[in-house]
Amino acid sequence: MRFKIALLGGDGIGPEVTAWAVRVLETIGTKRNHNFDFVPVKAGGAAIDEFGEPLPKQTLEAAKSCDALLLGAVGGPKWDSLPGHLRPERALLGLRAGLGVFANLRPAALLPQLKNACPLKDEVLALGSEDGKPAFDMLIVRELTGGIYFGEHGREGSGSEESAYDTERYSRSEIERVLRVAYKAAAGRRKKLCVVDKANVLESSRLWRETAQQISRDYPDIKTEYLYVDNCAMQLVRAPGQFDVIVTSNIFGDILSDEASVIAGSIGMLASASIGSGKGIFEPIHGSAPLIAGKNIANPLAAILSSAMLLKYSCALDAEANAVENAVYAVLDSGFRTSDIASRDGAAAGEKIVGTSEMGEAVLKALNNLL
Ligand code: NAD
């Protein structure tokens, strides 16, 4: 089969880690007779430098003409002082809206190989998990094109009277469509859905809860629970094993998934898929990590695991997606660790601390052995 993939490395560590996701897809192509045609595009800081805007029209058009978008990360201190509408991160909002992706799937599991990189104690990890084992395996479904990131913002007044506002607004249909994605995901997992909101304070959250209560009737096999976001933030570090699928708004999902990434070992491990209208955006959940850019120390595994999600959701190549995941597990089994996922007693545990390129090469080798 032939697939056209828009490739947006972006800024900071974005291009370094995405390069390995590309090599992984090329390996799949060679070994399994598929063609991945990559269409390089620019957005974010790199586009501001070249075209004076974060999301040039031609980038969005190219992304729309492809089957999927593989993205690294955008942003960095160089562009931090620009006004809001010109900042690199604006490109992400434009791409998400332009490609009609409204649900961001963020799997967060503690791999047994990375237990030493998790800051939580075994007894905490075991609490609430179904089999009493110190582990967790959750999927965070974050609404992606609504809420406060897309609502009206502005400033009024001046001097000490200056004020600023951002508006959280959701329609029932926006909430319903992301809830249905989450219910569908829960049906294929452990059949538990936790709806996270702040319904004790926010009207928009009350609409989330009312809509969830209605929609839940269509999914009698799924156990629906509700948590306030502050409690959820606490439960994630108190008993993460209790969660299967979490569904929540744009801003709450953004924050909770960063928290989940820390207990999974590192933000450098978490991949994501943004889906909705048919085209998908696949990217690690981390940002451009400017302080470690160009030093060959960034963890490429989140980007590589994002390419596995691309194979699954945009190409329907589930076996190949599994092979990529298994290659990552095999490399971790052999003790390869970038510094972000190394345990404190790394040497004793037989770990080998490697850079971005060594880790990428190790995954390619393992993948070649598996295919
Ligand atoms: P960040 O995710 O870039 O970095 C947070 C921390 O995690 C840093 O200590 C960083 O060194 C580390 N880290 C991140 N990815 C890593 C990896 N692959 N391997 C090892 N360590 C890794 O978040 P930030 O510092 O808040 O933001 C930096 C820039 O990225 C900002 O301009 C921000 O707006 C942007 N950003 C972009 C995206 C995106 O493109 N989707 C997402 C988040 C932040």
Distance between Cα 75 and ligand 1 center (Å)? 9
Residue 347 banded pLDDT, cuts 50, 70, 90: low
Distance between Cα 301 and ligand 1 center (Å)? 14
**Do 290 and 255 share a structural domain?**
no
**Do 353 and 225 share a structural domain?**
no
- Do β-strands 245-248 and 192-197 pair in parallel, antiparallel, or remain unpaired? parallel
**Do 136 and 13 share a structural domain?**
no
SS3 284: strand
**Do 219 and 147 share a structural domain?**
yes
Distance CA 20, CA 361 (A): 8
pLDDT above 90: percentage of residues in the chain: 91
Domains in the chain: how many in total? Answer: 2
Asked if the model's pLDDT at residue 346 lies above 70, the reply is no
Last residue of a domain, one of 234, 263, 292: 263
- For residue 351, give its domain range: 1-103+274-371
Q: How far is CA 112 from CA 109, 266, 280, in A?
A: 9, 14, 29
The arithmetic mean of pLDDT across residues 145-166, rounded, is: 95
**Do 289 and 233 share a structural domain?**
no
Please choose, from the candidates 88, 84, 83, the residue with its C-alpha nearest in 3D space to the C-alpha of residue 10: 88
Distance CA 113, CA 161 (A): 54
The predicted-structure confidence for 245-292, as pLDDT tens digits, reads as follows 999 999 999 999 999 989 999 999 999 999 998 899 999 999 999 999
Last residue of a domain, one of 203, 233, 263: 263
Residue 60 banded pLDDT, cuts 50, 70, 90: very high
pLDDT of residue 348: 64
**Do 358 and 300 share a structural domain?**
yes
The arithmetic mean of pLDDT across residues 128-144, rounded, is: 90
Pocket of ligand 1 (CB under 6 A): 13, 17, 73-76, 89, 92, 267-268, 283, 286-292, 298-299, 302, 340
Task: Please indicate, yes or no, if residue 110 is contained in any of the structural domains.
Answer: no
**Do 245 and 312 share a structural domain?**
no
Burial 48-66 (b: 16+ CB within 10 A, else e): beeeebbbbeebbebbeeb
The predicted-structure confidence for 103-135, as pLDDT tens digits, reads as follows 999 999 999 999 888 999 999 998 888 788 888
**Do 371 and 290 share a structural domain?**
yes
Task: Please indicate, yes or no, if residue 290 is contained in any of the structural domains.
Answer: yes
Output the six-digit token pair for 143: 């609404």
Asked if the model's pLDDT at residue 233 lies above 70, the reply is yes
Residue 303 banded pLDDT, cuts 50, 70, 90: very high
Asked if the model's pLDDT at residue 298 lies above 80, the reply is yes
From 79, 286, 338, the mutation candidate for ligand 1 (largest count of ligand atoms within 8 A of CB) is 286
**Do 258 and 283 share a structural domain?**
no
CB 71 within 8 A of CB 283: yes
Task: Please indicate, yes or no, if residue 113 is contained in any of the structural domains.
Answer: no
Task: Please indicate, yes or no, if residue 111 is contained in any of the structural domains.
Answer: no
